[in-house]
């Protein structure tokens, strides 16, 4: 398998949900029990999970730490966790409750000093830079706020500081099942050949995965397509 599939579990009120374009008012609940979903992923060969605390992103501190702890303690999945990590206490709590990696997005805009401190303390293997974009501008606070920082200057700054893992989500694509932002990912990949770019948002089918593979993307997060059945993860994993 050339590209790593990383399923996403987004949490609100301890339940597995998906939003459309980051809109909390466009929420669909897929499971009351995220652990069951995580175990199902693990059973078909998935190694890594993208777990997002949407309540935390809104509240600006970790909320669903019990869900993180449950999945971490009852599966062997490598968990990258994000949502509401704004303080030293939050990030330590995330690791204490079982996260293997932490994604920081808003904090990397609002408090660069704090984010760089985390990068130095925990290392580039454990810290993922969250680069959520709308029209190529960085979006923060659970996508509720669009900044005046563009993706390329954002990445230029942090790659110089030693960041290796970048998770980029095109908000306009996310949850819409209408294809991925191949052009922007291709541009990022060509501009920053020293990062591991994790694509996110818009995957609707096996073809979208193949399109990302064709531009040398190594990892992709898939959410709604799995839950809606437009991408058969079990079948894909059995053949790759």
pLDDT number for residue 143? 60
Q: Which helix (H) or strand (E) holds 137?
A: strand 137-140
**Can you list the pairs that 222-225 forms with residues at least 24 positions away whose Cβ atoms lie under 8 Å?**
222/5, 222/6, 222/7, 222/8, 223/7, 223/8, 223/9, 223/10, 223/18, 223/50, 223/175, 224/18, 224/175, 224/177, 225/177
Q: Which helix (H) or strand (E) holds 199?
A: strand 196-200
| 88 assigned to active site | no
Q: What are 154's two structure tokens?
A: 């954002």
d(CA 62, CA 54): 9
d(CA 6, CA 51): 10
d(CA 68, CA 75): 11
Spacing of C-alpha 44 from chain mean position? 20
Q: Which helix (H) or strand (E) holds 226?
A: helix 224-228
d(CA 174, CA 193): 24
pLDDT digits over 148-185, tens only?
999 999 999 999 999 999 999 888 765 555 678 899 99
pLDDT number for residue 58? 85
pLDDT number for residue 51? 97
User: pLDDT under 70 in the chain at which residues?
Assistant: 1, 21, 141-144, 173-178
From 53, 80, 132, 211, active-site residue: 132
Nearest of 180, 113, 105, 179 to residue 147 by alpha carbon = 105
d(CA 71, CA 60): 22
Backbone angles phi, psi at 46, to 5 degrees: -70, 140
| 10 assigned to active site | yes
Residue with tokens 């993706």: 151
d(CA 35, CA 72): 9
Spacing of C-alpha 120 from chain mean position? 21
Q: Which domains does the chain have, with CATH numbers?
A: 4-239 (3.20.20.70)
pLDDT number for residue 161? 97
pTM, 2 dp: 0.92
């Amino acid at each position: 398998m050339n590209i790593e599939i990383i399923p996403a579990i987004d949490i609100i009120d301890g339940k597995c949900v998906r939003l459309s374009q980051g809109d909390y008012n466009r929420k669909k609940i897929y499971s009351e029990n995220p652990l069951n979903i995580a175990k199902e992923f693990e059973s078909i060969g998935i190694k890594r999970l993208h777990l997002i605390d949407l309540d935390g992103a809104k509240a600006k501190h970790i909320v669903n730490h019990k869900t993180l702890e449950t999945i971490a303690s009852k599966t062997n999945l490598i968990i990258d966790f994000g949502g509401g990590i704004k303080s030293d206490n939050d990030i330590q709590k995330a690791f204490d409750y079982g996260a293997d990696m932490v994604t920081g997005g808003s904090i990397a805009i609002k408090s660069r000093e704090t984010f760089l401190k985390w990068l130095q303390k925990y290392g580039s293997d454990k810290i993922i830079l969250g680069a959520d974009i709308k029209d190529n501008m960085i979006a923060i606070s659970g996508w509720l706020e669009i900044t005046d920082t563009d993706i390329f200057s954002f990445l230029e700054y942090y790659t110089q500081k030693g960041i290796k893992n970048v998770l980029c989500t095109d908000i306009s694509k996310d949850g819409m099942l209408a294809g991925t932002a191949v052009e922007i990912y291709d541009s990022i990949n060509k501009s920053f050949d020293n990062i591991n770019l994790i694509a996110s948002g818009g995957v609707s089918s096996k073809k979208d995965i193949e399109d990302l593979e064709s531009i040398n993307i190594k990892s992709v997060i898939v959410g709604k397509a799995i839950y809606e059945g437009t991408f058969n993860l079990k079948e894909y994993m059995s053949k790759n």
